[in-house]
A and B are shown apart, each in its own frame.
Chain A
Amino acid sequence: MMQDYEVVVGIEVHVELATESKVFCGCRTAFGAEPNTQTCPVCLGMPGALPVLNRRALEYAIRTALALNCSIADRTKFDRKNYFYPDLPKGYQISQYDLPIGSNGYIYVDVEGEAKRIRIKRVHLEEETAKLMHAGDDIISATHSLLDFNRAGIPLVEIVSEADMRSADEARAYLSKLRSILLAMGVSDCKMEEGSMRCEANISVMPRGSKEFGTLVELKNIASFRAVHRAIQYEAARQIEVVSSGGAVARETRHWDDARGETAFMRGKEEAHDYRYFPDPDLGPIVIEKPWVDRIGDEMPELPDAKGERYMREWDLPKYDASQIADSRDLSEFFEKTCAIVGDGREVAKWILGEVLASLNATGIELSESKLTPELLAELIELVQTGKISGKIAKSVFEEVFNEGKRPGDIVRNRGLLQISDVGELVSIVEKVIDANPGPVADYHAGKTRALGFLVGQVMKETRGRANPQETNRILKEELDRRA
């Protein structure tokens, strides 16, 4: 039944911008401060207080919009979105209604190895609300609520995609690409668990091949990448169930309950607010000068896609490997620093996407938290490149380097793991192995070349893996041929 329907997903993302001060006042924005210590009359919504736009927040919003390939408005304005809620100190949110800073953008998202273009409808700047905490287990049993206005007025960009995604996987890939772009731009720390990145999804279903979208349902309270995927899957299945049993999906807003793994009705269309948007007279029209936008564009950090292409060009990396590294700010920084020392991108990439990622996954830590540094990884790779240790030994040493931050050179010296490349020494070991294994030697002479592998293995066993494999192969063959 599922395959008879197509899921249509659009995503709205809110991201807190990492400016030092708030968007309309001078208060700090640091996370985790004592509640209500980073406030002033403006962000508390005191009578008479007025907003003044933080130009840095505007710059970050422009940078975000440029990174998402949006056109930048040359004139924009701020509008008041009016509604009552205790976390909204002024009774309105300063947002942008019909003249967003950025519009008509797109990004490319990897969908089953293909780059799929997801269009960005708009990018606008607005202010964050206060943080509301209910005292008690839930909103119903709470006797009172607490408000922390430290968060009120932190700059927020809203990024709205077109309904271009066709599955939960695509939605997750979109978010993860978006996140990698925003991280690379340095405009946000994009921490979903701290709430600095939040997302809402619009979901509808339609019979496969149809041109007409089904009725749209808004999903709120999605707090992680995993939740996005689960919520969309659940909601799509629910809608397909409704439609295929002859029912109609209601236009409504639903709430994702992560613990139960379900969506639940929140409010219907008729309960939708009339926000009574109008231009905020306290801020007036904003002119965004073209030279400023150009400068922001010129000074913009490299985008993940461009970075990936550069890796393909400079180091001849396969596309998949290149984008896997480029999409992560941590990995790409590490990659580039290591390459600067060893000058072999393919080798560095192999290590990063192999041992490094595996260890990160196994330990569950961030690269920045591990003891591994580009210098240590470079040293390890150089030991292999100069023939001092084999690749296999290098892999066996890696864990100790990663966990304890020891220098690879010291480890291999202390443990006697340096590779044996000395021809004289190898010849004597090879002779010893040939003498001890007449059967396989006879096999080899009888044309069973597979016996060579066994004999190489014996040399390795004898040297505890330290014999230079190429040299061992060459000497063994020579010695066998001489005795034939």
Chain B
Amino acid sequence: MKLCDMTIHELAMLLKAGEATSMEITKSVLDRIDEVEELIGAYVTVTRDEALEQANAADERIAIARKRGDFSGISPLTGIPLALKDNVCTKGTRTTCSSRMLADFVPPYDATVVGRLRDLGAVIVGKTNMDEFAMGSSTENSAFHVTRNPWDLERVPGGSSGGSAAAVAAGEAIGALGTDTGGSIRQPASFCGLVGMKPTYGRVSRYGVVAFSSSLDQVGPMTKDVRDCAIMLAAISGRDMRDATSSPEPVPDYSSLLEGSVEGLTVGVPAEFLHSGLDSGIRELMDGAIRMLQEAGLEVAEVSLPHFEHAIAVYYLISSAEASSNLARIDGVRYGYRAPDASGVQELIRRSRSEAFGPEVKRRIMLGTHALSSKHYEEHYVKALKARTLLIEDMNQAFNKCDCMICPTCPTVAFKIGEKPDDPVAVYLMDIYTTIVNLTGVPAVSVPCGALGGLPVGAQLIGKAFDEGTLLRIAYSLEKACAISDRRAPVAAADGRRGK
């Protein structure tokens, strides 16, 4: 097993013990990038030189700690190479959102989450590909290139955080940050055999994360296992004075909560989620996961989310409405693409936006603009807000009966590149299990629970607001029970063989 195929917590042990250096780990990751990136296309930008500098700094930091015999200033993330989705602002490194619009945009500031990772001594390897402005679920909407699924290069990695998922699954990063507005962390995690979490709304600062839908967006970890997820979540969580929606709830040490007993906890199975149309293979894997949780000591209860069928429509109305406003700042005036030779300012703005936004982005801007227009505001936007309130009530009711819920993360395994249904509505239905989580603000994590035809399948565990601790503990026990022996995607495993 190469260093780049190991987990954060394994590498942190090696670093602390002096059995590996951040430089070795970072080089291992960069070597893997050299080897497979042409096949995978996970990155928009690889920050090789900066990564090596940061690795060097991390090694010095660890050396000083060792000399003093005091590792209190060392985090499990110190010296660990991580990737960032390219909608997370990085000072001095372009942040494109995989859009022509921001192809040359270099932010003058770091997102709060980036600052936190840097402070801990993490190594930033690069910025990952995504659906343009996080709108999509295959990463095919990137303006730059497709990203391939390390488990099957003919298939998509999911999206919109597909680049982050592919990078981690292929050993091109040890862990990554994604963003999740309607499933954009969990669905690619499911497609690529990773653990991916959308934290409670407000758990993680959104400052410096290019907004898609402000009331739904959250940043979260994409990792090889649950323990890594706990480590990264603790690192990025907590109140940020620059984000008025970030919560002052204290941040527990999630890693230390993993081993606790799950006995006496109840897992809810939403009746509506396991509908008859569900793929039988996925259904079997879900039943298996529920059984495993039961064997681990959890009670199983049937719960109901009666308004669940409306979640998709509500999601598209609210997210598009907010997006239409959030993307208005990208007008070609101060930064980003500017149409050449425009004769006046209105033409400048109109042409810049027409020429540089991709079709999916334009579709959502139009949908959102329509939903907010004074003529349609009541029938669309206001109605969507009311329905959102009903969904929140459903969620509260359901959580009266259980401590977490389980369902598939996605109704399918990764589909083939270019094979997504022509009908956008059918693609939207891929988000059927994930959007309700963002609309209600609660946390959820996708955990690998098996495979179908060699392709990973994730189970989604949904938790109570700000109780990521319990959620991760249950996820950890599911992960143990599933006991997937080799988590490496074939691309990584092949390199492993080549390396021997």
Contacts and interface: CB of A to CB of B under 8 A. Distances in A.
Interface of A: 41, 44-53, 80, 82, 84-86, 89-92, 145, 147, 274, 276-278, 280-284
Interface string B334-365: 11000000000110010000000000000000
Given A145-B345, A276-B372, A50 B243 contact: yes
Contact of B89 (A47, A86, A145): A47
Contacts of B109: 41, 46, 49
Contact of B325 (A49, A53, A278): A278
Contacts of B345: 85-86, 145
Contact of B329 (A47, A51, A280, A281): A47
B328 A281 contact: no
Interface stretch (B56-64, B203-211, B492-500): B203-211
B330 to A, nearest CB: 7
Contact of B209 (A48, A82, A89): A48
B211 A82 contact: no
Contacts of A48: 87-89, 95, 107, 111, 206-211
A80 B373 contact: no
B242 A52 contact: yes
B321 interface: yes
B197 interface: no
20 contacts: A46-B107, A46-B109, A49-B109, A50-B207, A50-B211, A50-B242, A50-B244, A51-B244, A82-B324, A84-B331, A85-B345, A86-B333, A89-B329, A276-B369, A276-B372, A277-B372, A278-B377, A281-B213, A281-B322, A284-B244
Contacts of A277: 372
Q: How large is the interface on B (under 10, 10 to 19, 20 to 34, 35 or more residues)?
A: 35 or more
Interface string B36-77: 000000000000000000000000000000000000000000
A41 B95 CA distance: 14
Contact of B374 (A53, A89, A274, A283): A274
Given A84-B349, A91-B329, A274-B373, A47 B95 contact: yes
Contacts of A147: 333-334
B94 to A, nearest CB: 12
Nearest to B210: A47
Nearest to B350: A84
Nearest to A83: B328
Contacts of B87: 48
Given A82-B325, A91-B328, A284 B245 contact: yes
A53 B209 CA distance: 19
Given A91-B327, A278-B377, 6 more contacts: A44-B334, A47-B211, A86-B345, A274-B374, A276-B324, A276-B325
Contacts of A80: 325
B372 A90 contact: no
A173 to B, nearest CB: 36
Query: Which of A41, A44, A53, A145 has most chain B Cβ within 10 Å?
Result: A41
B328 A47 contact: no
B102 interface: yes
Interface string B395-412: 000000000000000000
B215 interface: yes
Contacts of B88: 48
A82 B372 contact: yes
A145 B348 CA distance: 13
Interface string B117-155: 000000000000000000000000000000000000000
Query: Which of A41, A44, A84, A278 has most chain B Cβ within 10 Å?
Result: A278
Given A274-B374, A282-B214, A282-B244, A46 B328 contact: no
Contact of A281 (B215, B331, B377): B215
A85 B334 CA distance: 12
A53 B242 CA distance: 10
Contact of A47 (B97, B325, B346, B374): B97
A92 B328 contact: yes
Nearest to A90: B329
